[in-house]
Copies of this chain bind each other. A is one copy, B any other.
Amino acid sequence: MHFSSDNWAGAHPRIAESLTRHAAGFEPAYGGGDLDAAVTRRFCEIFEREVAVFFVGTGTAANALSLTLHARPGGIAFCHRGAHIMEDECGAPEYLSGGGRLRAVDGPFGKFSADALERSVARFFPQIVHDGRACAISITQATEAGTVYSLDEIEGISAVAGKFALPLHMDGARFANALVSLDTTPAEMTWKRGVDMVSFGGTKNGCWCAEAIVLFDTSKADELAFIRKRAAQLFSKSRFIAAQFDAYFADDLWLETARHANATAAALADVLRTAPLTRLAWEPQANEVFGIMRRDTMDRALAAGARFYEWHVPADFAEPIAPDEVLCRFVTSFATSRGEIDTFARLVGN
């Protein structure tokens, strides 16, 4: 019953096999090899256009360096209050961007609306040095609340970004989970809706460590090359990240693993919705599920070996929650089995 996080899982066998297959032989270091080039072309096909691709080691690096690319003196990047860059990266975005600031935008279920964003951005005037100035907007897709921005919502947000001439970044640590949830294409979910750059995550969906910054404006690639190297994120044996992505995309493995994770999340949501001792906090749309239960129920489940986290109740949480209740987060992955969910179901009275 491993629901702590999708990064508690290991690597998918086909990812592991690819790493082994590409272990032998010599290749130019620092991304100069054939495999890196081939995988970059694969990214272009997947996104149906020319893109610049920069492999990095962690999602935090992908996010922080994307924002660093657009950092400006006094710059403020807007994100949801619960965004990973705000809550879970130890200030990496501020640090790596040379002192930039993040500003929280509120909204229920891990998403903010275009209107809320516009109100938040509009109070900064481009010429008033005291306040600082807007420099970027970041959304997470799928969100940290397990929800997914619709294509229309993304378009609405990018319209605000465009109005203020701001780049729109998408933290796609769970890009594949959102993609299959919306049943759309990478192009439709990103640049066709005005997204400028993506932190494209493979790690949570079956890779070991395969993250990439994808730029739709390739004129910024030269700059990002220096940004990445300066941040110690240029891997000498870059081919091994390429090898992971190579297997990730082959035969649509990435969509298969994401569908599996989403499906097991839906099954877990069913359990939480219907079990006598739990209820569902809100409807999941990807591979993170939030449930509410009594603290003693949670303690019992943990004692029985279930692994999941109590969660901070977000500020704009709409559900009434009793004093003895807790909000809990469950995450599924490519490696989650139906058996684990059945076992958990029995634990909570189903």
Contact = CB atoms under 8 A, between A and B. Distances in A.
Contact of A222 (B5, B24, B127, B232): B127
Interface stretch (A70-78, A142-150, A176-184, A286-294): A70-78
B74 A90 contact: yes
Nearest to A3: B26
A16 B15 CA distance: 12
A94 B92 contact: no
A311 interface: no
A239 B209 CA distance: 11
Nearest to A87: B131
Contacts of A140: none
Contact of A91 (B27, B28, B230, B237): B230
Contacts of A222: 127
B229 A129 contact: yes
B131 A88 contact: yes
Contact of A26 (B10, B16, B60, B240): B10
A178 to B, nearest CB: 19
Given A64-B232, A129-B226, A26 B8 contact: yes
Secondary structure call for the A interface? loop
A98 B61 CA distance: 17
Interface in A1-39: 2, 4-5, 7-13, 15-17, 19-20, 22-30
Nearest to A65: B232
Given A75-B91, A226-B74, A237 B2 contact: no
Nearest to A94: B99
Contacts of A187: none
B235 A58 contact: yes
Contact of A233 (B5, B20, B99, B232): B232
Contacts of A267: none
B100 A98 contact: no
Interface string A225-254: 111111111111101100000000000000
A57 interface: yes
A64 to B, nearest CB: 6
A133 interface: yes
B8 A22 contact: no
Contacts of A61: 232-233
A89 interface: yes
Interface in A129-182: 129-133
Given A232-B57, A312-B123, A129 B90 contact: yes
Contacts of A229: 60, 74, 89-90, 92, 129-130
**Chain B CB within 10 Å — which of A29, A74, A127, A131 has the most?**
A74
A261 B26 CA distance: 15
Interface string A29-60: 11000000000000000000000000011111
4 cross-chain pairs, A with B, having the tightest CB-CB distances, nearest first: A95-B99, A7-B236, A61-B232, A98-B98
30 contacts: A2-B26, A5-B236, A7-B30, A8-B28, A10-B26, A13-B23, A16-B20, A20-B20, A58-B232, A58-B235, A61-B232, A61-B233, A88-B131, A89-B130, A90-B130, A90-B131, A91-B99, A91-B100, A92-B229, A92-B230, A96-B232, A97-B99, A98-B99, A99-B230, A123-B312, A129-B226, A132-B226, A208-B237, A209-B237, A232-B233
